């Protein structure tokens, strides 16, 4: 089998910039907004016993979910070694070190989610990631990313080709006809109670 070539974006997040990103995301205050995200996105669903995050970084979303659903079984995929080391400190979390472009488990999860990760994937690799997300889910998919009706590349902290906005959820809905939109919403960085980056979330369900 031919070994897959690591993309420019994967190398970027595996390296020093990924480590700097980890350091910027430390703090319990950052978990509060994520709890609001999951509380809002999952308010109409029940029976979620397990979930996997595609691109977990140091685990802020994992901590938020564990706080809201103490009995949930959680798994995470993360490419940056420093972030993986921090994830391994979280009790009962199953951690897969590697890229979301690769298959790490054949297990099915009640909920598969990404938060601010698809925006950093090379657009040429998105079909692969979509496939991995879809086939990992037994029921729900939560996409929380920067939204744009048209694919757009945005400069990111002085770098080009590192942040891409588009309609990720819409593309998943077009690609897989058995997915339907359950709910959607927006998080605002100026929310006076539970601020989070300006991301739009979409909850999809397999039917």
Ordered DSSP codes for 20-66:
HHHHHT-STHHHHHHHHHHHHHTTT-----EEEEES-TTSHHHHHHH
Q: Where do we find the tokens 């929310």? A: 191
| pLDDT in single tens digits along all 207 residues of the chain | 457 889 999 999 998 888 888 888 777 778 999 999 999 999 999 899 999 999 999 999 999 999 999 999 999 999 999 999 999 999 999 999 999 999 999 999 999 999 999 999 999 999 999 999 999 999 999 999 999 999 999 999 999 999 999 999 999 999 999 999 999 999 999 999 898 999 999 999 999
Domain extents in the chain: 8-206
Q: For the domain bounded by 8-206, which CATH number is listed?
A: 3.40.50.150
pTM of the model: 0.95
Q: Where is 171: in which H helix or E strand?
A: helix 168-175
pLDDT above 70 covers what percent of the chain?
A: 99
């Amino acid at each position: 089998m031919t070994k897959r070539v690591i993309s420019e974006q994967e190398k970027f997040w595996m390296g020093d910039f990924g480590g700097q990103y980890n350091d910027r995301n430390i703090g319990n205050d950052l978990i509060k907004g994520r709890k609001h995200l999951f509380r809002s996105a999952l308010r109409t669903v029940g029976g979620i016993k397990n979930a996997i995050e595609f691109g977990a970084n140091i685990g802020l979303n994992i901590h938020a979910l564990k706080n809201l659903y103490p009995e949930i079984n959680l798994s995470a995929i993360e490419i940056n070694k420093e972030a993986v080391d921090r994830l391994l400190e979280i009790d009962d979390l199953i951690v897969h070190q590697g890229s979301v472009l690769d298959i790490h488990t054949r297990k099915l999860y009640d909920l598969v989610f990404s938060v601010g990760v698809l925006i950093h994937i090379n657009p040429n690799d998105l079909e692969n990631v979509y496939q991995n997300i879809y086939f990992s889910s037994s029921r729900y998919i939560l996409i929380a990313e920067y939204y744009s009706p048209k694919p757009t590349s945005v400069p990111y902290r002085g770098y080009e080709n590192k942040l891409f906005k588009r309609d990720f959820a819409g593309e998943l809905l077009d690609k897989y006809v058995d997915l339907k939109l359950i709910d959607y919403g927006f998080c605002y960085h100026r929310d006076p109670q539970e601020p989070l980056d300006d991301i739009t979330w979409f909850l999809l369900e397999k039917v």
